[in-house]
Amino acid sequence: MLVSFGILAMSLASLGAAAMYADSVSARESRIQNALNQQACQDSRALIQAKDAFVAGAVDLPEFNCTLSF
C-alpha cells in the first residue's frame, strides 16, 4: 500500500513538472511569435509606403495582429 502511494505521488509530481515545462515553452513561443509579428508589421509599413506614396489613414493587418497609421 505504501509503495503504491509513493508511486502515485511520484507520478503526480512528474505530471505537474511536465505541465509547468509545457506552459513555459508555450509562453516563450508566444513571446517570440509576438516579436516576429511586430517586426513584420514594421517591415510591411515600408512596403506599403513604397507601393503607394499617397497612402493615408489606417491599414489593418490581421495576419500580424496590428494596425498601421499613416
Round to whole Å and give the CA distance between 68 and 70: 7
Q: Give the model's confidence band at 60: pLDDT under 50 very low, under 70 low, under 90 confident, else very high.
A: very high
Q: What pLDDT shows up at residue 35?
A: 97
CB–CB of 55/49 below 8 Å? yes
CB–CB of 28/39 below 8 Å? no
Q: pLDDT at residue 26 above 90? A: yes
Q: pLDDT at residue 36 above 90? A: yes
Sketch the domain layout of the chain as residue ranges: 2-69
pTM, two decimal places: 0.70
Share of the chain above pLDDT 90, in %: 97
Give the type of residue at 19: A
